[in-house]
Amino acid sequence: MTTYLIANETTYRNLSTFTSVEAMDAEIKQHKDAHNLTQTERDVLDVLARHSCKYKGVSFLTNSKLGMIVGIRRETASRVRSKLERKGIIRQYRLKRDGGDRRETGSAAVIQPAVTAEVTPNVSHHKATPNKLNKNSNTHKRDGDKQANPQPNADELGKRALKTGIPSAIYDALAPYFDVKALYDVYGILIRAKASVDRSITFEEHGQAYIDEFHNIIRKLKLGQVRNFNGLLYVAWRKVTEQVSRLVGSARSPLYYDWLAE
């Protein structure tokens, strides 16, 4: 099903997937490392990137212009873009005029963030069993010694620092499953998934929808139904953002009527 968007400044800003050209270039490198791209696919991706600097990640090149720059036919450019889209490297949108007859006025190719290395959450049903102390270890306390207060380890300290930068509800839902590095990576997936659809959505208002979907994926993981945890998280959180964005858009519409207010 073709996705149509209104061609205006707000749409372009919302489509933007990166905060800087450097961040976009880094993600493109990850795409190239992760996928077995042909030289033509690499050339097309590079040209799209070079024309995605105003709205980071968003290119408005036509297939004719793209083909002329790369040195391929317009039909070939169209096929290559479709292949890049199937691989999850770009996403394409049709654009309609903002006002008037709302006729189709072009398209946008949006470079997608790469899914990073797989993060494996701890979903064991059993509590971890502490390692037994070696009988000859100096850590044994003599009778009468006072038990020293346990010092937080590096992971706990890292999580404390990370907690200040993550909305509390999101942190509380994710933290039990990951160490500090994995938690940082998973939160990054969440940020990229949301930003690729609608940056205006806030976790403070809509965080529970993302949390519910996360728990649903954890349930599937426990049942052995998940092969690519990171990829599934990214796709699922994108869909959540699309749903929330539609609801928010409907609520802002002058045709919206709140029946619950009766």
Distance CA 102, CA 80 (A): 28
pLDDT tens, 92-148?
888 888 776 777 878 899 998 776 556 778 775 433 333 333 334 444 444 444 445
Look at residue 50 in the predicted model and tell me its pLDDT: 95
Look at residue 153 in the predicted model and tell me its pLDDT: 67
- 94, 111, 128 - which closes a domain: 111
Alpha-carbon dihedral angle through residues 261, 254, 55, 31, given to the nearest 10 degrees: 50
Instruction: Give me the domain span that covers residue 217.
Output: 154-252
Which range has highest mean pLDDT (73-87, 194-208, 221-235)? 73-87
Pair (85, 19) in one structural domain: yes
Bridge pairing between strands 4-6 and 104-111 = unpaired
Mean pLDDT confidence for 79-94: 91
Look at residue 129 in the predicted model and tell me its pLDDT: 30
Q: Are 44 and 124 in contact (CB under 8 A)?
A: no
User: In the 8-state DSSP scheme, what is residue 144?
Assistant: T
Does the residue 188 lie in any domain? yes
Does the residue 230 lie in any domain? yes
Bridge pairing between strands 90-96 and 4-6 = parallel
Please tell me which residue, 52 or 115, carries the higher pLDDT value. 52
Give the number of domains in the chain. Answer: 2
Residue 184 has pLDDT above 70, yes or no: yes
Look at residue 210 in the predicted model and tell me its pLDDT: 96
- 47, 82, 111 - which closes a domain: 111
Pair (161, 245) in one structural domain: yes
Residue 16's pLDDT band (boundaries 50, 70, 90)?
confident
Mean pLDDT confidence for 63-81: 96
Which of 62-71, 142-151, 233-242 has the least mean pLDDT?
142-151
Pair (106, 159) in one structural domain: no
Residue 207's pLDDT band (boundaries 50, 70, 90)?
very high
Does the residue 131 lie in any domain? no
Record the tokens describing residue 176, joined without a space.
Answer: 């039990």
CATH code of residue 17: 1.10.10.10
Pair (186, 99) in one structural domain: no
Pair (91, 158) in one structural domain: no
Does the residue 12 lie in any domain? yes
Count of residues for the chain? 262
- 56, 78, 111 - which closes a domain: 111
Does the residue 262 lie in any domain? no
Does the residue 127 lie in any domain? no
Does the residue 136 lie in any domain? no
Look at residue 149 in the predicted model and tell me its pLDDT: 55
Does the residue 120 lie in any domain? no
